[in-house]
A and B are shown apart, each in its own frame.
Chain A
């Protein structure tokens, strides 16, 4: 039994991407037998993938960096040419892979009942499994061109799923905008990868990080990479595809789309901190880290403000939650940018100040919390649409009498997103407020005020959808089926657990991830 587990852990980076990929191609064959067997098969495939991800994360958090070479036994040939394709997993990879493993299971359990009366479900489940495989491949890889290929797989599968409601005009135009933005972002990413290849003759992230010297072409590559990956992650002012895509897709698809957006954000952090890490943080010649940090802080503050103000004005349930998701991405970006701007040089190495380290921990913790909170809110929006067939806030009202469990889940989501105790949003936002206050008090003031406005937004939604008198057109509304309640319950349980016991989570899972961000040399040491 132990050897089987050891074999699984040794080969797990390949298995984590291969199992959903194989399951995606087998789903169409099994779908010919019957719908129930296909649903059970898909749930089993995602459960196996999540189990492998948890095993791998446990191994990495206790033992250090794991490198997996495809088709060879060592990472380099002839003693220093590392040219094989490899997956390299350190603390940050494992952390985001945990998020990317929870979200598809919840989405598939939810869509058992949510999509039951639609046709074309074979293709739906195939595309969700392809999105999962692409997302996990994007997170685990250690090779830049591999990252580009998985990014394109994910965006093609997502665009086809956003246009799932083909009879509505809004979904098709949202999918078209998503695929145009995705294609342009990915092509500019390929341009930057070609710039790296032309200079260093390597596509491996660790080899590029080892050899980088900040020439003029490297500056252009950094700018193109940041702009392209920030557009895919939804930073203002390139965020406008996000409300369309999140708002018009089916609710279970939106939950997996959150995971892909977070994977692009992970790519951005990996580029800034690891590939340019050796140059940015050991060379004193120019104030690159400070300039980069200030640019990121300005973008993040604009993201938070615009996201919150546009969210207050919306009348459509899911579009409003999408704008709140944009504001939350701004919080993560603010914490990381604030940490980046506090690098000081002593001798030949750079250290981040203590408040900067706390900000980095808060930002990384907030990635996990935000994915869960916004996912729960989207699932509640989908449940309301399933029961009442309406998404406009002007026409809903008084639903709390008939849908008691959904109301409780929405209350948990509301408290978690706006940072009220004792949910997990409060723990991560407290760390962000206190650490950014010591860096610059204005940032913490903006962050707290916009948190209050987020609370106002969701109180508006809670009042106009759930409270109020009983409307006659909703008298036949019943509670949603059990599989949707189970999916929402899983996320709510994780939210309450992290909220009540934050310290065990921060010490064991978040701190290795935040330390892996600052430690570019150990990432290189895993390969060379």
Chain B
């Protein structure tokens, strides 16, 4: 009755591995259940309205909620700051000038011509 279902759940084989999403789904559900049960075995009681329920910000005062949201430009500050030398080079490439766009096209065509004619 359900033999049209058979070719749908075959595994996808590459030369050195395989991938079967149904097997992955079953493993995911089993792992999720195990983690959920272990979490449920923790302590359930806590003291309300004392220091246990407040946010810890390394001793800094907490403002109201609207000011605490990190805007999008600052989310990966550490990454962009550490790689500033790389980003300076990329920014110099991405000017908005239309003439630079066509200049890159001519440069790439020139490099390809030299390589293909020599070989």
Contact = CB atoms under 8 A, between A and B. Distances in A.
Answer yes or no: A and B touching, Cβ < 8 Å.
yes
Given A223-B113, A224-B109, A240-B94, A394 B72 contact: yes
A393 B100 CA distance: 28
Interface in A166-200: 173, 176-177, 180-181, 184-185, 188
Interface stretch (B2-10, B30-38, B45-53): B2-10
A227 B90 contact: no
Given A219-B116, A220-B113, A503-B12, A395 B21 contact: no
B16 A286 contact: no
B27 to A, nearest CB: 10
Interface residues of A, number: 72
A470 B112 contact: no
Interface string A489-507: 0000000000111111010
A457 B109 CA distance: 32
A67 to B, nearest CB: 31
Given A431-B14, A434-B16, A310 B90 contact: yes
Interface residues of B, number: 49
A226 interface: yes
B14 A464 contact: no
A240 B101 contact: yes
B40 interface: no
Interface stretch (A103-111, A287-295, A330-338, A404-412): A287-295
A184 B105 contact: yes
Given A181-B101, A309-B87, A393-B71, A430 B21 contact: no
B25 interface: yes
B69 A438 contact: no
A226 B116 CA distance: 12
B119 A295 contact: no
A9 interface: no
A114 interface: no
B1 interface: no
Contacts of B102: 180-181, 184
Contacts of B116: 219, 222-223, 291
B39 interface: no
A370 to B, nearest CB: 18
Contacts of A240: 94, 100-101, 104
B98 interface: yes
Contact of B119 (A288, A398, A506): A288
B92 to A, nearest CB: 12
B109 to A, nearest CB: 4
B65 interface: yes
B93 A460 contact: no
Interface in A270-316: 286-288, 291, 295, 306, 309-310, 312-313, 315
B101 A438 contact: no
A499 B21 contact: yes
A499 B20 CA distance: 10
A461 B7 CA distance: 38
Contacts of B65: 469-470
Interface string B67-104: 01111110110011001001100100110101011101
B59 interface: no
A154 interface: no
A181 B55 CA distance: 53
A472 B66 CA distance: 8
B22 to A, nearest CB: 8
A468 interface: yes
B76 to A, nearest CB: 6
A396 interface: yes
A220 B115 CA distance: 11
Given A306-B90, A499-B21, A223 B109 contact: yes
B104 A464 contact: no
B57 interface: no
B61 interface: no
Nearest to A299: B108
A351 to B, nearest CB: 15
Contacts of B98: 176-177, 180-181
A503 B115 CA distance: 40
Contacts of B107: 237
Given A461-B72, A468-B69, 7 more contacts: A238-B105, A394-B73, A421-B21, A434-B15, A501-B9, A503-B7, A503-B12
14 contacts: A176-B98, A180-B102, A181-B102, A223-B116, A237-B93, A240-B104, A241-B101, A313-B80, A315-B72, A421-B21, A427-B19, A434-B14, A460-B76, A463-B70
